[in-house]
Structure 1
Amino acid sequence: MARLRSGHTAFADGKVLYVWGGCQSVNGEEVILPSDEIWLYDMESGGWSREAMKGEVPPLLSQACGSYLQGTLHVFGGCSSGGHSNQMYSVNVQDGEFSWRRVSDAAGTTPSPRDKHSCWVNRDRLIYFGGYGCKTIREVNNNQNFIVDESSWGAIGTAFFRFWGWNNEVHVYEPEENAWTEPVTQGSPPVARASHASACLGDRGYVCGGTETSSLDIHCLDLDTWTWSQIDTPAAPLPVGRSLHTLTAVTDHTLFLFGGLGVTGQPLSDVWEFDAQTCEWRERAHPHKDKPRLWHTAALGNDNDLVVFGGSCEYTVLMDSITILRSPVQKHCGDVLIFQTQPYPLLRLCEDTVGRNASLLREQVAWLPAKVREVILKRISFYKKGAPQHD
């Protein structure tokens, strides 16, 4: 089984969930997981497999941003033993080779080093927003989209020519052209932030959370005109403010929010849906209320199932008399949570029914055509393994 982890990258392609990277806390120390392996979760059978990776393997990275586009995983930024990174690595996951390539010689200006940022995948482009990282004094003086983290002056005192902090920059990377651009945005952008969540609906990018506010703010960037707007939502009900949560597009106009770390430091397990047409939040019931998650991943799987993997269910920030230390104590998770977001088709209902009642239908399964039987046997295996609970 895949190792317990948080802060990893996960994406779904067909009936497979891919999981790469992340970290664990061991005796209060952050341990970054290997970058030369990727785990595959078969969403039909519930089985895990591990694939070795080769090529120009990335360094061990924490809090990098992974994005999946046309069969290729792109990993940008993150923090390694050498500090914050602004390197891009890519790997084709469909050719069976799993060979990494370091992206170099890109045209344009590469964004400054950062982590805890997010990405919208839109029209063969990777559009990055926000994050926490470092800039030179000149970059800070020439940048209105950067908030200096004053606490970092004492924590990181060896590089006086650099400042650490949060940004609300927008950078576009086009893999086909191997080129970076920084569009000039209009409107009122979100305050600089990191550890937020983002998702794309058509040509609109949404970002929410990641700031110390009592309720969750949500902003939209028109990816045609590069115009920001803050979305006004009704006074109630509203999700509480949070960071380290997930936001996932589940229909053409619906975003699915799960979990995160509340502003008072508590891990959350609530689920909300945001309707982009009415600009309203709606809390929904689900069976995973006893399984809070933060720093997890969420991907859209078969029949619009939302597949949540990993993350932390406990989070204790260590403090001394002066400042908050940067090594939190976490209890990491390695299980899969599945949220049903729409009614299942008849075929799926039949497959699940047979899978759950295999002992009663063993003889009938043997009568099925080979291809159908193969699918049914996977569903039987899925439920034998102790299938993730559906809502």
Structure 2
Amino acid sequence: MQFRCLTEVRILFVRGKSIVTSRYFAFFSRNWEGSIKDTPLLIFLFYLVFDLQADKVTVIYIVFHIHIFFRDVLQVEVTSPPGLSGSTASIHGDDLYLFAGHGRQGNINDLYHFNLRKREWELLSSYKEEYSNPSPRDKAVSWIYNNKFYCFGGFGPPLQGFLSENGKFTSDDSSYPTRGWNNQLLEYDISKKKWVRHLAPGQHMQAAQVRNKVYIFGGRYQMERLNDLHFVEVDNLQWSGRLTTEGNIPEGRSWHSLSALDDGRLFMYGGFNTSCQPLSDAWTLDLLTLQWSQLKHVPGDRPRLWHTACVTPSQEVVIHGGCSNNILDYQVQTVSFDLMTGGELKLVLLQYFPVYRALESQIYRCSL
């Protein structure tokens, strides 16, 4: 393990390769069972490992203490949902909601609920309920607001059945059978346990929620990766249209991460550009002025895509998992990361680092 402390960026590296293909989600808890020496701030890097042949899912919690750089791993094997890729998920309290994805039978539109404390799955809606569920898809984005689960966009078969009149479908000319992009905005009422019908209108785009607005940047459309920015007001489901931003604009990308900071900025990292090159750049967007700024102090030699990121209360961005090379080049071995087998974790500091935080790790290690 190597630890580097710089003036403006702090990164923890745990080196190695992962042989596991995973779907990562990250969230925080201040009062989780089994916390380390009763210390309050824990980050949980939660992800699913899908075994397509055995149709088995393993749920893994990586419990990581930001202050002292100590981690623990909890692994739970479950039987539901089936092996999937490209699902979208959001966490609300102790509950995770997992929607859609692509498996052995193609795209699905199942919605699952997983209780993080009880470690139990519940199937909320299924593809068998054709006339009360949205169309199958993968690579969508989701968020939770006012006890409702929202989903936007995705890639899959043409829209059909329930809500098929909402939104637009554009076919991918290179796919067979026909698959393509949609711009549907979907709402699931968690209390009533049903999808809601709305008359409201990419693939691999990313979203960040700031109070009642959800910002969406980039994504792939046909053979181009976009760099446009939009937001939707969740209270009335009204779209902003394409926003005009200032400064140097990041190049188009998909498979990046987009995180909301407490000071009114968005933080974007990495991704995959139109030339199929993995990216390692980091940007912030001031939501008041819509000014993009590139962070020059973030290392430019560590590309990352298909990763996850979340923000600590100290405004540090934790980047976990993902791949570092062109995953579409099947002649090159994909290099992926996870903390169970070594992997790599980045911790990016976006403000001045208190001295006491630098000392906590050393004090803890000396006490072992």
Structure 2 length normalisation: TM-score?
0.79
Q: What is the SS of the residue equivalent to 1:313?
A: coil
Corresponding residue of 2:206:
197
Q: Distance in 2 between matches of 1:305 and 1:34?
A: 34
Q: 1:140 to 1:47 in 2, by over 3 A?
A: closer
Q: Which consecutive unaligned segments of at least 5 residues does structure 2 have?
A: 1-13, 30-41, 339-343
Corresponding residue of 1:384:
none
Q: Shift in Å at residue 139 of structure 1? A: 8.4
Q: Distance in 2 between matches of 1:355 and 1:3?
A: 26
Q: Distance in 2 between matches of 1:222 and 1:274?
A: 18
Larger relative helix fraction: 1
Q: Shift in Å at residue 145 of structure 1? A: 0.8
The one-character-per-residue Cα deviations of 1:349-391 (angstroms, maximum 9, x if unpaired) are 31422424x5xxxxxxxxxxxxxxxxx35x977xxxxxxxxxx
Q: Shift in Å at residue 267 of structure 1? A: 0.4
Corresponding residue of 1:99:
120
The aligned length equals 330
Q: Shift in Å at residue 302 of structure 1? A: 4.6
Corresponding residue of 2:70:
46
Q: What is the SS of the residue equivalent to 1:114?
A: coil
Q: Distance in 2 between matches of 1:35 and 1:72?
A: 17
One-letter code aligned to 1:103: L
Matches within 5 A, 1:1-391: 3=18, 8-14=23-29, 15-21=42-48, 35-44=57-66, 45-54=69-78, 57-93=80-116, 95=117, 97-104=118-125, 109-135=132-158, 142=165, 145-153=168-176, 156=177, 163-185=178-200, 193-211=202-220, 216-234=227-245, 236-251=247-262, 253-318=264-329, 330-334=334-338, 335-344=344-353, 346=354, 349-356=355-362, 358=363, 376-377=364-365
Q: What is the SS of the residue equivalent to 2:356?
A: helix
Q: Distance in 1 between matches of 2:136 and 2:304?
A: 27
One-letter code aligned to 1:61: L
Q: Distance in 2 between matches of 1:143 and 1:184?
A: 6
Q: 1:329 to 1:8 in 2, by over 3 A?
A: same
Q: 1:58 to 1:239 in 2, by over 3 A?
A: same
Q: Distance in 1 between matches of 2:131 and 2:352?
A: 46
**Cα RMSD (Å):** 3.2
Larger radius of gyration: 1
Q: 1:350 to 1:177 in 2, by over 3 A?
A: same
Worse-superposed segment, 125-134 or 142-151 = 142-151
Q: Is the 8 A contact 1:22 1:62 kept in 2?
A: no
Q: 1:50 to 1:198 in 2, by over 3 A?
A: same
Q: Shift in Å at residue 269 of structure 1? A: 0.6
Q: Shift in Å at residue 224 of structure 1? A: 1.6
Q: Is the 8 A contact 2:134 2:164 kept in 1?
A: no
Q: Shift in Å at residue 182 of structure 1? A: 3.8
The one-character-per-residue Cα deviations of 1:146-175 (angstroms, maximum 9, x if unpaired) are 10122223xx3xxxxxx4111010001121
Q: Is the 8 A contact 2:270 2:282 kept in 1?
A: yes
Q: What is the SS of the residue equivalent to 2:248?
A: coil
One-letter code aligned to 2:115: N
Q: Distance in 1 between matches of 2:218 and 2:114?
A: 30
Q: Shift in Å at residue 247 of structure 1? A: 0.6
Q: Which consecutive unaligned segments of at least 5 residues does structure 1 have?
A: 25-29, 157-162, 320-326, 359-375, 382-391
The one-character-per-residue Cα deviations of 1:49-100 (angstroms, maximum 9, x if unpaired) are 122144x52111111112101211111101111211111111111x2x3111
Q: Distance in 1 between matches of 2:157 and 2:229?
A: 25
Q: Shift in Å at residue 329 of structure 1? A: 5.0
Q: Distance in 1 between matches of 2:53 and 2:250?
A: 32
Q: Shift in Å at residue 236 of structure 1? A: 3.5
Q: 1:73 to 1:280 in 2, by over 3 A?
A: same
Q: 1:16 to 1:214 in 2, by over 3 A?
A: closer
Q: Shift in Å at residue 110 of structure 1? A: 1.5
Structure 1 length normalisation: TM-score?
0.75
